[in-house]
Chain A
Amino acid sequence: MSKVIIIDDEPLARMIVKEYLQKHPLLELVAECGDGLEGVKAIQHYQPDLVFLDIQMPKINGFEMLELLDEKPSVIFTTAFDEYALKAFDTHAVDYLLKPFNQERFDKAIEKWQQQQHVEKNNLSELLNTAAQSPTQNNRVVVKNGNKIKIIPVHDIWYLEAADDFVKIHTQEGYFLKNKTMNFFEQSLDSQQFVRTHRSYILNIQQITRIEPYEKENHMAILKSGTKIPVSRNGYIKLRQVLGL
């Protein structure tokens, strides 16, 4: 028996997946969730073999939910219409079901999943990076803080700092760790608001109160909170461009 979880915010959308699942006696439905937060809990609790996942959902979308999981399950995406999601699927050749779909198409997706199971799991992280370019995901960052899930609106970010394999996201409430690269953030954040002033720092320009020279050739940006952030020679050029100096 394989364990299955359905995550979709529309009850009828869950109902139809449930109905199609009846044809597959070896798949056991262990949980149904109406949003991504419930989804994270259910996945951690049941360790399912397969997840049917909608993209557009309350609080956090399907992609953001997956990012929060250390152990990523096998996923069959279900979605109605989402330009960015479809682009992500196509680029990384992941199977997905376009709503509305029929039993035949559903069975095919199951079959494909069964074949792939023995080979290797889909490499989801690349897919998630592509999906993160979508505008809805661009204006917030979802992080896990212990057992709690935190959604940080982008304009609440003070600055980002590189920390080994992680990025420290500094906000008024302290910092949060996110398992991404500085390059990822530099590309996905709005370049008119966030400037990479240094190899290890990306600054929200709204937070800067002043910029002072520091040693020769270098500068220091001083934030509203009083924090001093190093600005390299290149960073200073970029900063001046964005600030229009």
Chain B
Amino acid sequence: MIVLSNYLILLYTGLNWKTSIIDSLVTTGLLVTACLALGTILRYYLPQTGEYFNLIGIGFVITLIWLFVSRSILIYLLATEEYNHFFTASFPLRFVFGLLLIGFMGLICVLWYTQQEQKESHKRKTEAEQLTKEAELFKLRQQLQPHFLFNSLNSISALIGARPDEARKMIQQLSDFLRGTLKREEHQWISLKEELQYLQLYLDIEKVRFGNRLSTEIKSDDAADQMKIPALLLQPLVENAIKFGLYDTTGETLISLDATAIKKVLQITIQNPFDTETSSPKQGTGFGLSSVKRRLYLLFGRNDLITTKAENHFFTITVKIPQA
């Protein structure tokens, strides 16, 4: 199309049709080559903000080279005095035309490559975020263990002398619990029923540790049992409840968990007693709670899935798990 328009313009200025065709073909062909050259340059050298003067410079130089080369070829092909004269006369026009087209090409290239670069960096960023997320989840999971583990081992050590059968039973429970922790992946979703079975292992161990000071009550309806929950989500919350229940009162402590299905949402409440005299509900916001909050945020991007309430000597945590 450029060749055609070029040809018509040249014809209009009074050149014969043969000269016009050769001129437009050569000029346009070389212009396309120049544009490709510019594209290649920009692919490896993309001017940063503030370096756009370089781009203008490059465009200028390429335009000059283009004009010089086309002049040499055309004068060689059409060696007439008349054409020579014509080319010199049309020089400024050709220059402006070339510069505009090459400049335009340069602009498109810069935009295109910049966009590509942005896409690439965005992808990298997402990947990096994903990695951080996984590392964070792993860390959250790890931090819960040591205190519980060493105290359980100490209880077993005590039982071995006096009540070896119970010691053996507790080793079994502890092994099952630890195996569960290792086996499950953070991203895995399991049914509430499975999660509760796992939780029961944990509670049995805690009951051996704390003797009759700790009792638990777990209720869930059939519909809730079948609903899905991110693996290992409840244990830190119950651990939290036990800590603030047992560590905050000196008598017996009842921890209760209640799971119900409300439309397409699984709602779980966990309750523990606390002493309004000596502790503030704020103390109930321990590590377990904040780690679960963080996990839910990473999984759902929402901060409103977990709520806490303190009234009448009871601290209640409510967790909502939207079902896919």
Contact = CB atoms under 8 A, between A and B. Distances in A.
Contacts of A150: 278
Given A81-B147, A155-B280, A12 B247 contact: no
Contact of B247 (A11, A57, A80): A57
A99 B153 contact: yes
Interface in B123-170: 146-147, 149-151, 153-159, 161-162
Contact of B150 (A57, A81, A140, A156): A81
Interface stretch (A13-21, A111-119, A163-171): A13-21
A161 interface: no
A18 to B, nearest CB: 9
A117 B254 CA distance: 43
Contacts of A35: 250
B282 interface: yes
**Which among B153, B158, B211 has the greatest number of chain A C-beta atoms within 10 A?**
B158
A81 B146 contact: yes
Nearest to B150: A80
Contact of A153 (B159, B210, B283): B283
A217 to B, nearest CB: 37
A155 B279 CA distance: 11
B19 interface: no
A49 interface: no
Given A80-B150, A80-B151, A155-B280, A59 B248 contact: yes
**Which among B149, B209, B250 has the greatest number of chain A C-beta atoms within 10 A?**
B250
B147 A10 contact: no
Nearest to A15: B158
Contacts of B282: 139, 153, 155
Given A56-B147, A80-B147, A9 B154 contact: no
Nearest to B146: A81
A11 B211 contact: yes
Given A10-B209, A16-B161, A81-B147, A58 B283 contact: no
B52 to A, nearest CB: 41
Given A58-B248, A58-B249, A58-B250, A9 B210 contact: yes
Contacts of B151: 10, 13, 80, 99
A100 B249 contact: no
B158 A16 contact: yes
B246 interface: yes
A9 B246 contact: yes
A100 B153 contact: yes
A24 B57 CA distance: 94
Nearest to B277: A151
Contacts of A38: 250
A131 interface: no
Contact of B154 (A34, A100, A156): A100
A174 B177 CA distance: 49
Interface string A28-63: 000000110110000000000000000011110000
Nearest to B159: A12
B99 to A, nearest CB: 55
A12 B159 CA distance: 7
Nearest to B283: A139
A16 B157 contact: yes
Contact of A34 (B153, B157, B159, B250): B250
Contacts of B26: none
A182 B89 CA distance: 92
A38 B150 CA distance: 25
B154 A80 contact: yes
B3 interface: no
Given A19-B162, A58-B247, A100 B157 contact: yes
A90 interface: no
Interface string B179-206: 0000000000000000000000000000
Contacts of B247: 9, 56-59
**Which among A80, A98, A102, A150 has the greatest number of chain B C-beta atoms within 10 A?**
A80
A82 interface: yes
A156 B157 CA distance: 42
Contacts of A140: 279, 283
Nearest to B156: A100
Contact of A12 (B146, B155, B213, B278): B155
Contacts of B154: 10, 12-13, 16, 80, 99-100
A14 to B, nearest CB: 8
Interface in A57-76: 57-59
Contacts of A56: 147, 247
A16 B160 CA distance: 10
A156 B282 CA distance: 11
B279 A151 contact: yes
A189 to B, nearest CB: 15
27 contacts: A9-B210, A10-B210, A11-B210, A12-B154, A12-B158, A12-B209, A12-B211, A13-B151, A16-B154, A19-B161, A34-B250, A37-B250, A56-B147, A57-B247, A58-B249, A58-B250, A59-B247, A59-B250, A80-B147, A80-B150, A80-B151, A100-B150, A151-B279, A153-B279, A153-B280, A153-B283, A155-B280
Q: A-B pairs with the 4 shortest C-beta distances?
A: A80-B150, A16-B158, A99-B154, A12-B158
